[in-house]
C-alpha cells in the first residue's frame, strides 16, 4: 500500500501525517512537493497536511488549493483514491471544491489549541469504520480558522447523507452544527480540523486517532 | 489600468472580526455604530484593455471564495 503526503511551503504537520501512514501501511510515505504537476504511480492514499500553507495569505488554504499538485490530487480523488485532509488540509480541500463549505475564523477569534471531545457522526465511511456510531473520542485541535460554514441546504444534505464524520461534543470554534469533519459524496475524501495523527501511540497520551488510519488501511487492503 | 476588487462577507455570514471591531469601537465611546463588517481590498495593476470578464474570472477563481464572500470590481 502506498501513501503520499503533499508538502506546501508552510506545511508543518506533513511529517506527522507521513509517520502515521508509514506506521499503518508498513511502507515509507512519499512526500510530494506542491510544485509538482503529477503524483507517483500506484497511490492508494493522499494526505493533505496541517500547517499554514503560504502563510494563510488571502484565505487559509486558498493559495495551496491553486498550486499545480492540487489539480493532480483532484484528478486522483475523482478516480476514487482516498484523500485525507487534516486542519489546513481540510481548508485546502474546501478551497479546491473537493469538499463543500468553507472554514472561517473561529467564532471566539482565538487560536484554539487543545484536546477536544468529538462524537463520531458515522462509522459508514472508509475512514471511520473502526469507530462506533456516536462514539466519544478525544483528538487535539490547533487552528484559528476552523469555523465550518455552509448554507442550510448543504448542511441538511451532509447530515441527510450521513457525511458528517465527526462533530465537536462542545463549543470549540462556532462551526455550523458542530461539524468537525465531513466526507465528499463518493466517500473517498475526508476533511477534518482535529489532528488524528497526533494521537496514534501511547506517548501521545491516547490513541484515539490511530483507528482512523487502521480503518483506512483496512478498507483499502 | 488600476482596478480594485472589494471582497466582503455575504450578508448572513457571521463576521467575528467585525463583531470584535464593533465591540472595540463601542469601548472607545463611539455610539451609534449599528454593525461592523470587515472585508478586504485587492488592488490590481492590469494591462490596458483587460476584459471585465477576465477580472470577474480572477475573482471567482481566487480572489473571493464565493461560498462565503461577495466581490465588487471598481475601476480606480
Element (H, E) at A113: strand A112-120
Q: In this predicted structure, what is the pLDDT of residue B12? A: 87
Domains and CATH numbers, chain A: 3-220 (3.40.50.880)
Q: What DSSP state is assigned to residue A39?
A: P
- pLDDT tens for residues A127-172? 999 999 999 999 999 999 999 999 999 999 999 999 999 999 999 9
C-alpha cell at A69: 499538485
CA angle B23, B26, B29 (to 5 degrees): 155
Task: Say if pTM beats, i.e. exceeds, 0.90.
Answer: yes
Q: How many CB atoms lie within 10 A of CB B16?
A: 18
Q: Determine whether A143 is an active site residue.
A: no
The nearest CA of chain B is from the CA of A19 a distance in Å of: 32
User: Could you tell me the CATH number of the domain that includes residue B50?
Assistant: 3.30.1280.10
C-alpha cell at B63: 480572489
Task: Please give the residue range of the domain that contains residue B41.
Answer: 2-75
Helix, strand, coil proportions of chain B in percent (round to 5)? 30, 30, 40
What is the number of structural domains in chain B?
1
Q: Is the pLDDT of residue B14 over 90?
A: no
Residue in chain B closest to A150 (alpha carbons) equals: B67
Q: What DSSP state is assigned to residue A42?
A: T
The nearest CA of chain A is from the CA of B67 a distance in Å of: 6
Residue A39 Cα distances to A6, A7, A63, A134, A151, angstroms:
9, 12, 19, 36, 33
ipTM above threshold 0.95: no
| Mutation for testing the B interface, residue in A105, A106, A154, A172 having most B CBs under 10 Å | A105
Amino acid at each position: 500500500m502506498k501513501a503520499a503526503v503533499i508538502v506546501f511551503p508552510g506545511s508543518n504537520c506533513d511529517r506527522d501525517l507521513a509517520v502515521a501512514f508509514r506506521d499503518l501501511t508498513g511502507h515509507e510515505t512519499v512526500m510530494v512537493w506542491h510544485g509538482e504537476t503529477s503524483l507517483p504511480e500506484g497511490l492508494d492514499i493522499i494526505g493533505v497536511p496541517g500547517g499554514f500553507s503560504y502563510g494563510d495569505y488571502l484565505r487559509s488554504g486558498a493559495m495551496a488549493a491553486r498550486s499545480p499538485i492540487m489539480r493532480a490530487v483532484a484528478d486522483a480523488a475523482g478516480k476514487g483514491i482516498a484523500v485525507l485532509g487534516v486542519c489546513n488540509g481540510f481548508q485546502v480541500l474546501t478551497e479546491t471544491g473537493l469538499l463543500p463549505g468553507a472554514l472561517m475564523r473561529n467564532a471566539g477569534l482565538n487560536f484554539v489549541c487543545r484536546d477536544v471531545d468529538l462524537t463520531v457522526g458515522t462509522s459508514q465511511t472508509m475512514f471511520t469504520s473502526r469507530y462506533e456510531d456516536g462514539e466519544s473520542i478525544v483528538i487535539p485541535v490547533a487552528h484559528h480558522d476552523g469555523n465550518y460554514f455552509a448554507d442550510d441546504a448543504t448542511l441538511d444534505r451532509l447530515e441527510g447523507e450521513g457525511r458528517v464524520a465527526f462533530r465537536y461534543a462542545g463549543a470549540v470554534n462556532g462551526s455550523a452544527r458542530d461539524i468537525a469533519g465531513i466526507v465528499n459524496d463518493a466517500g473517498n475524501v475526508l476533511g477534518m480540523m482535529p489532528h488524528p495523527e497526533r494521537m496514534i501511540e501511547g506517548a501521545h497520551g491516547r490513541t484515539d486517532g490511530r483507528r482512523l488510519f487502521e480503518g483506512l488501511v483496512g478498507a483499502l487492503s | 489600468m488600476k482596478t480594485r476588487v472589494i471582497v466582503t462577507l455575504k450578508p448572513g455570514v457571521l463576521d467575528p472580526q467585525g463583531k470584535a471591531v464593533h465591540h472595540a469601537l463601542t469601548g472607545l465611546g463611539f455610539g451609534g455604530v449599528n454593525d461592523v463588517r470587515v472585508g478586504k481590498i485587492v488592488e490590481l495593476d492590469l494591462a490596458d484593455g483587460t476584459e471585465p470578464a477576465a477580472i470577474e474570472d480572477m475573482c471567482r477563481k481566487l480572489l473571493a471564495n464565493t461560498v462565503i464572500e461577495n466581490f465588487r470590481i471598481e475601476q480606480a
